[in-house]
Amino acid sequence: MALIELTDVTFTYPDSLQPAITNLSLRIEKGQFVVLFGASGSGKSTLLKLLKNEIRPHGTLTGNIVINGSPIQDSSGLSQEIGFVFQDPENQIVADDVLHELVFGLENIGLTTNEMRNRVAEMVHFFGADDLLRRKSHELSGGKKQQINLASALLMQPNILLLDEPTSQLDPVSTRELLDMLKRLNEEFGMTIVLAEHRLEEVFTLADTIIMMEKGEVLIAGEPRQVLPQIWNSKNRAYVPGIPSLFLKMHEKGLLPLTVKEGRNWIATIKPTFLATETEKQQQQSKNVIKTKGLSFRYEKSREFVLDELDFALNKGEFYALLGGNGSGKSTLIKALAGLVKSEQGKIWIDDKPIKSYKNNDFTKYIGYLPQNPKLFFLQDTVERELHATMEQFGLTDWTETEALLEELGIVHLKTNHPYDLSGGEIQKAALACVLLRKPKVLLLDEPTKGLDPISKKNLANILLSVKSNGVSILMSTHDVEFAAQHATKCGMMFQGKITSEDNPERFFNGNFFYTTMIQRIFRGQAMMPLTLEEAAHSCVSTIS
Residue 501 within any structural domain of the chain: yes
> Which residue would you say has higher pLDDT here, 381 or 283?
381
pLDDT of residue 284: 54
Tell me, yes or no, whether 369 and 469 share the same domain.
yes
Tell me, yes or no, whether 121 and 242 share the same domain.
no
For strand 273-274 and strand 82-85, is the pairing parallel, antiparallel, or unpaired? Answer: unpaired
Mean pLDDT, rounded, for 398-410: 90
Task: Note the helical H segments in 72-223.
Answer: 98-108, 113-127, 142-155, 172-189
pLDDT of residue 285: 61
What is the C-alpha separation between 370 and 391, in angstroms, rounded? 17
pLDDT of residue 278: 56
What is the extent of the structural domain holding 329? 288-509
What is the C-alpha separation between 111 and 117, in angstroms, rounded? 10
Tell me, yes or no, whether 145 and 173 share the same domain.
yes
Q: What is the CA radius of gyration of the chain?
A: 24
Give per-residue pLDDT as tens, 479-537.
999 999 999 999 999 998 999 999 999 999 987 888 999 999 999 888 788 899 988 88
Tell me, yes or no, whether 232 and 355 share the same domain.
no
**pLDDT(543) > 70:** no
Residue 15 within any structural domain of the chain: yes
Residue 283 within any structural domain of the chain: no
Which CATH number goes with the domain that contains 441? 3.40.50.300
Give per-residue pLDDT as tens, 437-459.
988 999 999 999 988 899 989 98
Task: Label residue 79 by pLDDT band (50, 70, 90).
Answer: low
Q: Dihedral (C-alpha) 182, 188, 194, 200: value to the nearest 10 degrees?
A: 40
Residue 399 within any structural domain of the chain: yes
Residue 120 within any structural domain of the chain: yes
Give per-residue pLDDT as tens, 295-354.
999 988 878 899 999 999 999 999 999 999 888 999 999 999 999 999 889 999 999 899
Distances (CA, A) of 478 to 5, 52, 183, 326, 367: 37, 31, 25, 10, 19
Backbone angles phi, psi at 198, to 5 degrees: -105, -30
Tell me, yes or no, whether 26 and 120 share the same domain.
yes
Residue 278 within any structural domain of the chain: no
Tell me, yes or no, whether 192 and 174 share the same domain.
yes
pLDDT of residue 281: 46
Tell me, yes or no, whether 93 and 147 share the same domain.
yes
What is the C-alpha separation between 56 and 281, in angstroms, rounded? 54
Residue 149 within any structural domain of the chain: yes
> Which residue would you say has higher pLDDT here, 283 or 377?
377
Look up the pTM and report it: 0.86
Tell me, yes or no, whether 324 and 349 share the same domain.
yes
Give per-residue pLDDT as tens, 24-59.
999 999 999 999 999 988 999 999 999 998 888 999
- In this predicted structure, which of 228-232, 269-273, 383-387 has the lowest mean pLDDT? 269-273
Residue 372 within any structural domain of the chain: yes
**pLDDT(286) > 70:** yes
Mean pLDDT, rounded, for 463-479: 94
